[in-house]
Every structure is written in structure tokens, then in C-alpha cells.
Amino acid sequence: MVLSLSKDTIQVVKEQDAVFLKNRVKETATKIKMGLVNQTRLITAASELVRNMLRYANGGRCDIEVVSSGRNNGVRLTFTDKGPGIPDISQAMKDGFSTGKSLGLGLPGTRRLVNEFDIKSKIGEGTTVMVIKWANG
């Protein structure tokens, strides 16, 4: 059972918003006393996801939540966009696959950086990616 304790929504439309978002994520992670390594992992994951959103969907929305499950505290990020959607998610989750000219590590790498990862996508409607990083996970 994951409980949401606080919620913060940030609209992302241009590249500068990504810096603001990363700072917000860092603030939230510091607040729940997440360690430096986990913080960096979470920020890197946020950076990957926000970049995907800007690149393929021209921006979207990110909810930053402090969540709690039992004794564990953590940060949940939910990225929602109204972009073209991902036709084949299992292919997109493979290392080295990219429709752009990138390294193709964004999505699979992000999954390795966080504790919980969930992606939903509908062609023509958009994509939602949810990640959770526990403070001591």
C-alpha cells in the first residue's frame, strides 16, 4: 500500500523547465533524507524521462509526490504527456533501441535506476511513466 503524502505538479514545455524540475526533485529527495547516491539516481532518471517527454511529445506534466509504504519513504514521479505514444513498449525497453539518434539507454537505464517502474502508452493519446525511488532502497 503506497500512500501519497504531498504532491507538486510541474508543467514542462521547454528545455529550461527540465533544470527547474530537477532542482525540485532534488529538494523533495533531500527533504525525506534520501542519500546522495539515491538522489543522484533519481535525478538522473528524472532527467532521462523529462528529456524523452520534451523530445518526443513536445512537453507534458510531471507530478512529484512524497510517498510512504510501511516504514519506507520515497519519491514518486509521474510523467504524463499527450505525445504520439510508443508503438512497442517491450522494444523501447530494450538496451540500445532508439527511434531518435540517441544511445537508446533512456528507458531501460531509468528502470535500473529506480525501485519501481511503470509505463503505459496509447498510440495517438500519450504516454505515462511512473517511477518510485525509496529513500533507502
Partner 1 sequence: MSLKINKLLQKKKKNILELWMKNQLADEGLREDLISNEELRSQSEELIDALVSNLGEDNFENVDSDLWSPVIEILGGIAITRARQGFTPRETGNFVFSLKEALLEILQQETKDDAAALFAQSLRISRVMDSLSVVTFETFIKGREEVILRQTDEITEISTPVIRVWDGILALPIIGTLDSARTQVVMESLLQEIVETGSSIAILDISGVPAVDSLVAQHLIKTVSATRLMGAECIISGIRPEIAQTVVHLGIDLSTIITKASLASALAYAFKAMRLEVKKIPAGQR
Q: Which stretch binds partner 1 (CB under 8 A): 44-52, 58-66, 73-81, 123-131?
A: 44-52
CB of 125 to partner 1, least distance (A): 26
Judged by CB under 8 A, the chain residues 78 through 137 that form the site for partner 1 are 95, 102-103, 105-106, 108-110, 112-113
Closest CA to 63 of 33, 32, 103, 21: 21
d(CA 112, CA 91): 16
Sheet holding 3-12, edge to edge: 3-12, 60-69, 72-81, 126-134, 116-122
Rounded to an integer, what distance in angstroms lies between the CA atom of residue 80 and that of residue 112? Answer: 20
Indicate which single residue of 8, 15, 27, 118 sits in contact with partner 1 (rule: CB under 8 A). Answer: 15
The contact set with partner 1 (CB under 8 A) reads 15, 18-19, 22, 26, 36-37, 39-41, 43-44, 47-48, 51, 95, 102-103, 105-106, 108-110, 112-113
